Structure 1
Amino acid sequence: MLRIEKLTKRFGANTAVDTANLDIDKPVMIGIIGRSGAGKSTLLRMINRLADATEGRILFEGRDVTQLTGKAKRAWQSDCAMIFQQFNLVPRMDVVSNVLHGTLNRRSTFATMFNLFPMEDIHRAIDILDRLGIAEHAPKRAEALSGGQQQRVAIARALMQDPKIILADEPIASLDPMNAQTVMEALRRIHEEDGRTVIANLHTLDTARRYCDRVVGMRDGRIVFDGLPEQLTSGVAREIYGAGEEFSEAATSTQIETLDASTHALRPTRSEALL
């Protein structure tokens, strides 16, 4: 279904992603973990073609995605929807219009300029919002919603594209634990109910184990682990994060009961800790 072969991205003398290889042969939910700067975001951006690879290939159903240009590239970006940490919504626009922006790639320039949406698309957008538990917020401005609600609007916008793959770049990094769980549960349901592949960048071990079928660990731009959640032991985590014996999983937990646990090992940023 999706094959990544020796994918590399260099920025001058720095290598952000180093000869990454990944095979996905069926719809699956994958969590990519690792420290900040490990190359996780760059990998997703290359898959979506927001960034061009320096070397290597991305094959989807036998087609070389890295060679796509123009209309074919835009079509791929519809098939491979992207969800960002900071939501990327239009704050002063109402929620349902933000969701409808997921159809921009298949609409005319005239319709886009004047926000002319078919009634069928409007009904579909509201149905998707209802599925995510936020249909009552459809007429509100996006800026009036909480962070967790805004991220669900961003997920709804991605679903409007009817993608085959959903890429989520740290989707819960800026959310509190309750909203983080709600968003991850929504992504899991989308995978299970729709049969869509979901690939999410995560910082936390418990999130990866709880929601993902497969976990990929990155360190210094290289994939150093690719296995089942139960294979993600503390020893493996220490290797991924480059930490010593003092490493504590509490430092990367999203479980509410462990948020106040003290640790002197890996000290992530606030966003990483909440992730």
Structure 2
Amino acid sequence: MLQLQAVTKTFGANTAVHAASFSVDRPMMIGIIGSSGAGKSTLLRMMNCLTPASSGEILVNGRDITKLRGAEKRDWQSHCAMIFQQFNLVPRLDVVSNVLHGTLNRRSTLATMFNLYPEDDIIRAIDILDRLGIAEHAPKRAEALSGGQQQRVAIARALMQDPTIILADEPIASLDPMNAQLVMQALRDIHEQDGRMVIANLHTLDTARRYCDRVIGMRQGRIVFDGTPAQLTTGVARDIYGADASFSEATTSTQIETLSARPETVAAQ
């Protein structure tokens, strides 16, 4: 389904992603981990064609998406939904309208200008919100919701696109542990129930192990690990993050029971 071949992205003299290669032959939930600046976000943005690759190929069912332009690129982006850390909602619009923005790629300019939506799309948007447990918030302004609820609205908007692949760039980085688990479980359910590929950039190792089928580790723009969650040992994590023996996973854990047992960790965050 998806194959990256020596994908590289340079910004001037700096190389953000260096010859990244991996392939996925079936829908999976994949976590990409690494420290800030490791190239994770740039890699996802190249897959979505938000950032052009400097070299290499990204093949989806044999088609190199790095060469797409204009309408073909927009068509690919409609099949490859992107979820961002900061939600990217319209704060003053109601929740259901934000979800319906997932259909903008297939609507006319006139319909977009006057905010007109077919009844079937409105019903589908509410059904998706119900699936994510937030249908009762449909008429509220997006800005009135909590961070976790807003991220689920962003997931609902992505599902309105009916994508083949969902890319999530640090989807839980700004959320508390409870909401982080709700969002990750929603993504996992989408993968399992819909058969969609989900690729998420993550900072927390326990999250990658718990929700992902496969974990890719990046360091300084290079892929340095590609394996199963069981293979992601603390020693491997130290190599990925370039850390010494003092490295502790507890400082990044999203496990509620772990944080409850360590109030000094919560206070430090």
Q: Which amino acid aligns with 1:214?
A: R
Q: Match for residue 189 of structure 2?
A: 189
**Residues 250 and 261 in structure 1, CA contact (< 8 A), matched pair in contact too:** no
Q: Secondary structure at the match of 1:90?
A: coil
Q: Distance in 2 between matches of 1:186 and 1:257?
A: 20
Q: Distance in 2 between matches of 1:151 and 1:205?
A: 20
Q: Secondary structure at the match of 1:81?
A: strand
Q: Which amino acid aligns with 1:208?
A: A
Task: Give TM-score, length-normalised by structure 2.
Answer: 0.97
Q: Match for residue 159 of structure 1?
A: 159
Q: Match for residue 174 of structure 2?
A: 174
Q: Match for residue 227 of structure 1?
A: 227
Unaligned runs of 5+ in 1: 264-268, 271-275
Q: Deviations over 1:152-181 (max 9, x none)?
A: 000000000000000000000000000000
Shift of 1:257: 2.5
Shift of 1:262: 6.2
Shift of 1:95: 0.3
Aligned length: 265
Q: Distance in 2 between matches of 1:224 and 1:63?
A: 26
Shift of 1:245: 1.2
Q: Match for residue 150 of structure 2?
A: 150
Q: Secondary structure at the match of 2:44?
A: helix
Identical positions, percent: 78
Q: Distance in 2 between matches of 1:244 and 1:261?
A: 24
Q: Match for residue 236 of structure 2?
A: 236
Q: Deviations over 1:45-104 (max 9, x none)?
A: 000000000010100001110000111100100100000000000000000000000000
Map 1:75-224; keep pairs closer than 5 Å.
75-224=75-224
Q: Which amino acid aligns with 2:159?
A: L
**Residues 4 and 23 in structure 1, CA contact (< 8 A), matched pair in contact too:** yes
Q: Deviations over 1:119-150 (max 9, x none)?
A: 00000000000000000000000000000000
Q: Distance in 2 between matches of 1:249 and 1:180?
A: 16
Q: Secondary structure at the match of 1:18?
A: strand
Q: CA RMSD in A?
A: 1.1
Task: Give TM-score, length-normalised by structure 1.
Answer: 0.95
4+ residue segments displaced more than 4 Å? none
